[in-house]
């Protein structure tokens, strides 16, 4: 009897071990490797919609069935679905399938439920810069908090998740190849070849940095997704356009999907109506940070392009009766004093110049917030006049900067006095986190920054508290 029990125990242990060690790309893992919902703009109906996606193992597989469900969860009928264009079957041995979910409807894929975009989302989770460098720069086992942050956020059952960009660090750890600079938003000097680091842009790195740690959060709520400079076509752009980009032939069959077919591939700004607020999403992946960039003509060229994007942003914002949040990966304004720099670094040079050159010359009054990532810190900045507050949530995973500025700080940013808060590695051991936001019916926002240790453990401390409209003590203040 004892030997039978031992045999049974050994069998169970073997099965558990097998389950624990299965890697993506192996048949044992199952057919649907990930399922998620992306919030998108329908350019024909000019309305906000959602795209259901499923990532399937293998490159020659049929899509699973997408169904609309009734209120009891019973399948009503199959949704039209298609496959996205695989950029490189060797690097991405998976098939991405998608379907449009009718407004407000519940849906499933392969019999598994998908999150629904509700009419008035009140509980938002904001995360950014979530990946892990790896190598000597960051220990992805012991010093990468994103898995813990994503699990904690999922337990809060949000209505919507916003990711402000820079997803895949593991596949894009460096901006150099054999001493040559990778294209990383700043155009190379004329005659100088640009190099790329696309060899790390694979399903494996996307799985490790995004889809594995965020699996539960991805089935908790629809996601608004921004593209960062780690998702440039010289870096992890192929994966971005395959896995996360919110364009689809199902929404616009008259235009080709954006793909990495050139050094700079840019997409147009679009608006999302999310209950009490409007989100205007701007693709800033190619906006060079450096004001003293060596090629003046290239910086001017980029600034002219983004000036037109700001014109478009202004038009989308002016058409809204609701408060507008501008979502743009690179902060239009930030302030960081690095130990390696003599003065304050204020990003982003291209966007600051472009905004001055745009027809609007400033953001419309309806823009109540600029929300960004990119800087590996949490920052909240307010100006005395003429500019909306700037929030930066760049502290959800990648190793943090060390900002020498005091809290709160008062400095000049882009020619204007600014007051801000900056939480970085220097501030404390729990400066990682995500912003947990509550939206009221009038667009009033309150947010709590939950603190996390580098190993992903929640400290239970609210590190900062934020509110919109901006109160007497700024956009955010240090928490209790």
User: CB-wise, 227 or 387, nearer to Fe ion?
Assistant: 227
Query: Which residue number, 14 or 181, has a Cβ lying nearer to Fe ion?
Result: 181
134-163 residues near Fe ion, rule: CB under 5 A:
none
Q: How far is CA 330 from the centre of its chain?
A: 11
Residue 235 sits in the site that holds Fe ion (CB under 5 A)? no
Q: Tell me how far apart the alpha carbons of residues 308 and 312 are, in angstroms, rounded to a whole number.
A: 6
Query: Strand 432-439 relative to strand 445-452: parallel, antiparallel, unpaired?
Result: antiparallel
For residues 352, 353, 358, 363, the Cα torsion angle rounded to the nearest 10 degrees is 10
Looking only at the bridges linking them, the beta strands covering 416-423 and 432-439 are unpaired
Closest residue to Fe ion, based on beta-carbon distance: 374
| Region near Fe ion per CB under 5 A, out of 11-19, 223-231, 249-257, 345-353 | 223-231
Q: Which residue lies nearer to Fe ion by CB, 134 or 228?
A: 228
Calculate the CA 202 to chain-centre distance: 18
Residue 383 CB partners (closer than 8 Å, separation 6+): 333, 389, 413, 416, 417, 418
Q: Provide the mask over 241-280, with x wherever binding to Fe ion is found by CB under 5 A and - wherever it is not.
A: ----------------------------------------
Beta-sheet pairing, 160-163 with 123-127: parallel
Stretch that binds Fe ion, among 112-120, 235-243, 371-379, 380-388 (CB under 5 A): 371-379
| The binder of Fe ion chosen from 49, 172, 175, 229 (CB under 5 A) | 229
| Per-residue burial over 411-443, b = 16 or more CB atoms within 10 Å of its CB, e = otherwise | bebbeeebbbbbbbbbbeebbbbbbbbebeeeb
Q: Per the structure block, which two tokens stand in for 419?
A: 């007051």
**Residue reference for tokens 């109160």:** 471
Least distance between Fe ion and beta carbon 164 (Å): 9
- Contact window for Fe ion (CB under 5 A) among 54-62, 373-381, 456-464, 465-473: 373-381
Query: Using an 8 Å Cβ cutoff, are 414 and 383 in contact?
Result: no
Q: How far is the CB of 228 from Fe ion (least distance, A)?
A: 4
* Least distance (Å) between residue 166 CB and Fe ion: 4
Q: CB of residue 427 vs Fe ion: minimum separation in angstroms?
A: 20
Name the minimum Å distance from CB 374 to Fe ion: 4
CB of 393 to Fe ion, least distance (A): 12
Q: Which is nearer to Fe ion, 42 or 166 (CB)?
A: 166
Does position 227 interact with Fe ion (CB under 5 A)? The reply is: no
Q: Tell me the closest approach of the beta carbon of residue 99 to Fe ion, in angstroms.
A: 31
- Decide whether 114 or 226 has the Cβ nearer to Fe ion: 226
Based on the number of CB atoms within 10 Å of its own CB, is 44 exposed (0-12), middle (13-18) or buried (19 or more)?
exposed
Q: Are 90 and 128 in contact (CB under 8 A)?
A: no
Residue 228 contacts Fe ion per CB under 5 A: yes
Partners of 67 in the β-ladder: 78, 108
Distance from C-alpha of 385 to C-alpha of 390, rounded to nearest angstrom: 13
Nearer to Fe ion, 48 or 197 (CB): 197
The span of 88-96, 111-119, 229-237, 446-454 binding Fe ion (CB under 5 A) equals 229-237
Q: Which is nearer to Fe ion, 229 or 419 (CB)?
A: 229
CA gap 391, 112 in Å, rounded: 36
Inter-axis angle of helices 296-318 and 349-357, nearest 10: 60
Instruction: List, in sequence order, every residue forming a beta bridge with 56; answer none if it has no partner.
Output: 32, 95
Q: How far is the CB of 189 from Fe ion (least distance, A)?
A: 22
Q: Please tell me the count of residues contacting Fe ion according to CB under 5 A.
A: 4
CA distance 293 to 184: 12
Pick one of 41, 278, 353, 374: the residue that binds Fe ion (CB under 5 A).
Answer: 374
Return the residues of window 414-473 that contact Fe ion according to CB under 5 A: none
Tell me the per-residue interface mask from 159 to 178 with Fe ion, x by CB under 5 A, - otherwise: -------x------------
Shortest distance, CB of residue 328 to Fe ion, whole angstroms? 11
Q: Which is nearer to Fe ion, 235 or 247 (CB)?
A: 235
Stretch that binds Fe ion, among 23-31, 146-154, 222-230, 455-463 (CB under 5 A): 222-230
CB nearer to Fe ion: pick between 289 and 436: 289
Rounded-to-integer distance, Cα 394 and Cα 378, Å: 6
Q: To the nearest whole angstrom, how small is the minimum distance from the Cβ of residue 424 to Fe ion?
A: 15
Closest by CA position to 128, among listed 152, 155, 149: 149
Give the shortest CB-91-to-Fe ion separation in angstroms: 22
Q: What sign for the dihedral angle of Cα 256, 259, 263, 268?
A: positive
* Shortest spacing between CB 158 and Fe ion, in angstroms: 23
Strands of the 112-114 sheet, one edge to the other:
75-78, 66-69, 106-109, 112-114
Pick the piece of the chain touching Fe ion (CB under 5 A) from 85-93, 111-119, 228-236, 240-248.
228-236
Instruction: Find the part of the chain contacting Fe ion (CB under 5 A) among 117-125, 185-193, 369-377, 441-449.
Output: 369-377
Identify whether the C-beta of residue 410 lies closer than 8 Å to the C-beta of residue 401: no
Footprint of Fe ion (CB under 5 A): 166, 228-229, 374
């Amino acid at each position: 009897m004892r030997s039978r029990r031992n045999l049974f125990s050994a069998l169970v242990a073997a099965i558990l071990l097998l389950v624990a060690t299965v890697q993506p790309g192996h048949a044992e893992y199952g057919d649907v490797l990930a399922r998620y919902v992306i919030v998108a703009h329908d350019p024909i109906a000019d309305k906000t919609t959602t795209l259901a996606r499923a990532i399937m193992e293998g490159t020659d597989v049929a899509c699973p069935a997408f169904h609309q469900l009734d209120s009891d969860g019973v399948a009503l009928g199959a949704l039209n679905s298609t496959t996205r264009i695989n950029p490189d079957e060797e690097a991405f041995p998976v098939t991405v399938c998608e379907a449009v979910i009718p407004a407000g409807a519940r849906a499933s894929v392969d019999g598994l439920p998908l999150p629904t975009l509700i009419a008035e989302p009140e509980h938002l989770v904001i995360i950014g810069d979530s990946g892990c460098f790896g190598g000597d720069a960051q220990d992805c086992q012991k010093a990468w908090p994103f898995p813990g942050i994503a699990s904690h956020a999922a337990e809060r059952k949000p209505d919507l998740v916003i990711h402000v960009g820079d997803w895949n660090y593991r596949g894009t750890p460096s901006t150099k190849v054999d001493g040559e600079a990778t294209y990383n938003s700043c155009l190379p000097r004329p005659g100088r070849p640009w190099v790329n680091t696309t060899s790390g842009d694979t399903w494996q790195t996307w799985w490790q940095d995004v889809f594995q740690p965020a699996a539960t959060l991805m089935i908790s709520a629809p996601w608004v997704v921004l593209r960062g400079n780690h998702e440039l076509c010289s870096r992890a752009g192929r994966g971005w356009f395959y896995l996360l980009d919110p364009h689809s032939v199902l929404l616009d069959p008259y235009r080709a999907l954006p793909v990495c077919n050139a050094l700079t591939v840019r997409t147009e700004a679009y608006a999302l109506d999310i209950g009490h607020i409007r989100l205007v999403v701007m693709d800033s992946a190619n906006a060079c940070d450096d004001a003293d960039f060596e090629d003046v003509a290239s910086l001017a060229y980029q600034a002219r392009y983004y000036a037109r994007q700001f014109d478009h942003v202004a038009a989308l914002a002016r058409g809204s009766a609701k408060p507008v949040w501008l979502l743009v990966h690179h902060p239009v304004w930030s302030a960081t004093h690095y130990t390696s720099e003599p003065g304050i670094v204020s990003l982003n040079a291209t966007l600051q110049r472009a905004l001055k050159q745009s027809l609007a010359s400033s953001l419309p009054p309806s823009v109540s917030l600029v929300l960004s990532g990119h800087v590996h810190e949490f920052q909240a900045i307010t100006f005395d006049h003429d500019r909306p507050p700037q929030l930066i949530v760049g502290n959800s995973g990648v190793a943090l900067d060390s900002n020498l500025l005091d809290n709160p700080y008062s400095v000049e940013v882009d020619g204007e006095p600014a007051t801000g808060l900056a939480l970085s590695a220097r501030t404390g051991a729990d400066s990682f986190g995500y912003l947990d936001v509550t939206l009221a019916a009038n667009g009033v926002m309150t947010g709590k920054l939950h603190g996390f240790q580098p190993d992903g453990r929640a400290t239970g401390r609210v590190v900062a508290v934020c509110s919109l409209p901006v109160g007497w003590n700024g956009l955010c203040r240090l928490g209790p």
